Amino acid sequence: MEIRPVLPAEYDEVGRLTTDVYIGDGFLTLGDDYLLELVDTARRTREAEVWVAVDDRGLLGSVTFCAIGSSYREIARDDEGEFRMLAVSPVARGRGVGRALVELCLRRSRELGYAGVRMSTMDKMTSAHRVYERLGFTRVPEDDWSPIPGMTLLAYQAAL
């Protein structure tokens, strides 16, 4: 498995994968406004870093890393990185793809000299919560928030 920046030729595929995962896992439904943000990989690459995990069979997953100055940052402090929109193909699950993408975000934060990493996750993304906790992330309940009525996002942080 290789982790690298997304290529322009992969933008559509990354957008499809991300929306398919969020819909397929029951986190969003067709018609949710957030799907427009998830599918727009070109915009994400202009305003953040989009990374992909690939192997000889194709795209396994992706994540958006938000450095200081990115419009995609939501809860990170001035000395922290943030990541969003982690998606792993159902056929690639259990192979460490999600873990590798989160580790990439931790590594990028270290490279940039940040003190830590923060992220928000839907309360029902319990499998992802376990990955984050195994990698040293802890809950920050005072930073939990709701972007729209009925949706709760849980905050996590990791010190570097």
CA distances (Å), 93 to each of 70, 90, 109, 144, in order?
29, 5, 25, 27
pLDDT given at position 150? 82
Measured distance CA(48)–CA(23) in Å, rounded: 23
Structural domain contains residue 160: no
Alpha carbon of residue 82 to chain centroid: 9
Average pLDDT estimate for 136-145: 97
Structural domain contains residue 95: yes
Structural domain contains residue 35: yes
Q: What is the CATH number of the domain that holds 19?
A: 3.40.630.30
Q: How many domains is the chain built from?
A: 1
* Among 104, 29, 17, 26, residue whose Cα is nearest residue 65: 104
Measured distance CA(52)–CA(62) in Å, rounded: 4
Q: pLDDT (tens digit, 9 = 90+) per residue, 61-84?
A: 999 999 999 999 999 999 999 999
Structural domain contains residue 130: no
**Does 156 have pLDDT greater than 90?**
yes
Residue 149 pLDDT grade (very low, low, confident, very high; cuts 50, 70, 90): confident
Structural domain contains residue 127: no
Residue 41 pLDDT grade (very low, low, confident, very high; cuts 50, 70, 90): very high
Structural domain contains residue 54: yes
Structural domain contains residue 140: no
Range of the domain at 24: 2-113
Structural domain contains residue 142: no
